A = this chain, B = another copy of it.
């Protein structure tokens, strides 16, 4: 595939007749394809979204300042600060499909309940003490946990401690906004249950490996397991690397352990629009450069390393986030054991048959 935009080869001369024609188009809400084809139909994805890194060291103080200056409550609903991709202004979109934000809840605060068609999750890079209450079920949030709020489930949060807590929210707001699929409904101004159990009811019912309750035989569009605990994620990754040490097939590629969080009723992605994964590289390890259709956001959970995005290397530390727009080449290098959480819009691309993957050194 040649890397030239197709549309510039042959444009008609702008004669007065042609200008009149274009006026006629405008009057009738029409636009010619031939003047814009190269932009609309590039030879490969040319995202407006930019590869970009957000440093946790810069985000957290701003979140803390918000905690002092901005109340949380009905109306604003959440003290969430969106990562605004510089290429997607004026929207606070991290990619054309995904929203990523740091959310901050002060000591003893409550974020009121609501529900929306948009799918959401939270990932906790540090801290604890908040419970998110999903359809009345209190779900503890602790470091390393992934917590789900699939579309149209009521949810609110409350901080049960005297310490603030910050975490990452991921949603499909841009997809939903662009395509006009959103619904929203207010719920209780307080969370409906202030209990602080270690395990949610969803976990107690669904969190047993390979076991499905007979009361839950109907497949669910989104995972009914609202919490994926760090203890399990860590164990799964640890075992993959140990199995690799034993010469067994287990890792994605040498030195690269990885899991996908899945819906136990189907084995597929946790939500229809968002894929969540966790990656661990051994110290000194690296990944081949990959391009994929669709966009991803990574957050460093632990360790030091770097990412190369279309050839530009960015050093990364705990909490740092970076975005990989569509068809941007990415590869990781680990200076220590290097743990990263990832979410992406891959389910959209796969369900609509747009996915393509190109891995350095592999035949396309």
The chain A residues found within 8 Å of chain B, CB to CB, are: 1-2, 6-12, 15, 17-18, 21, 24-25, 28-37, 39-47, 49, 52, 54, 58-59, 62, 65-66, 68-71, 73-86, 92, 96-97, 101, 114, 116-118, 151, 173, 175-186, 201, 204-215, 217, 219, 221-223, 225, 228, 232-233, 235-236, 239-240, 242-243, 246, 248-252, 258-267, 270, 272-273, 277, 293-295, 325-327, 345, 347-349, 351-354, 356
User: Would you call A21 and B62 a contact (CB within 8 A)?
Assistant: yes
Contact of A207 among B15, B117, B209, B352 (CB under 8 A): B209
Are B250 and A213 in contact (CB-based, < 8 A)? yes
The answer to whether A353 touches B151, judged by C-beta atoms less than 8 angstroms apart, is: yes
Compute how far the CA of A175 lies from the CA of B201 in the bound complex, rounded to whole angstroms: 39
Contacts of A217 in B (CB 8 A): 260
Decide if A236 touches B250 in the complex (CB within 8 Å): no
Of B2, B185, B246, B326, which one neighbours A180 at CB under 8 angstroms? B326
- CB A114 to nearest CB in B, in angstroms, measures 7
Contact A32 B70 (CB under 8 A): yes
Q: A236 vs B216: C-alpha distance in the bound complex, in angstroms?
A: 13
B179 close to A208 (CB less than 8 A): no
A45 & B266 in contact (Cβ 8 Å cutoff):
no
B181 touches A326 (CB 8 A): yes
- Known A-B contacts A15-B69, A82-B32; the reply to A326 vs B179 at CB < 8 A is yes
A92 neighbours in B (Cβ, 8 Å): 30-33, 36, 40
Distance in angstroms between the alpha carbons of A2 and B186 in the assembled complex: 9
Q: Kindly list the 6 A-B residue pairs having the minimum CB-CB distance in the complex, ordered from nearest.
A: A9-B75, A34-B76, A10-B75, A180-B326, A31-B92, A214-B258
A236 to B202: give the CA distance in the assembly, Å: 11
Closest beta carbon of chain B to A198's beta carbon, Å: 12
User: Which residue of chain B is the closest to A44 with respect to CB atoms?
Assistant: B183
Task: Return the contact of A28 from the options B54, B80, B270 (Cβ within 8 A).
Answer: B54
Q: Are B348 and A183 in contact (CB under 8 A)?
A: no
Minimum CB–CB distance for A187 against chain B, Å: 11
Please determine whether A6 and B352 come into contact, CB atoms closer than 8 angstroms: no
Bound-complex Cα distance A211 to B120 (A): 18
* A267→B260 contact, CB < 8 A: no
The CA-CA distance from A246 to B52 in the complex, in Å, is 48
CA A245 to CA B85, docked complex, whole Å: 49
A21's partner among B69, B118, B250 (CB-CB below 8 A) is B69
Q: How far is the CB of A44 from chain B (nearest CB, A)?
A: 5
Closest approach, in angstroms, between the C-beta of A290 and any C-beta of chain B? 12
Query: Quick check: A65 and B30 within 8 Å, CB to CB?
Result: no
Complex Cα–Cα for A222 and B354 (A): 12
Task: Output the nearest chain B residue to A114 by Cβ-Cβ distance.
Answer: B6
Can you name the residue of chain B whose Cβ is closest to the Cβ of A148? B210
Q: How far is the CA of A243 from the CA of B215 in the complex (A)?
A: 12
- Nearest B residue to A345 by beta-carbon distance? B179
Are A81 and B184 touching (Cβ within 8 A)? no
Give chain B nearest CB distance to A139 CB in angstroms: 14
Q: How far is the CB of A310 from chain B (nearest CB, A)?
A: 14
A250 touches B205 (CB 8 A): yes
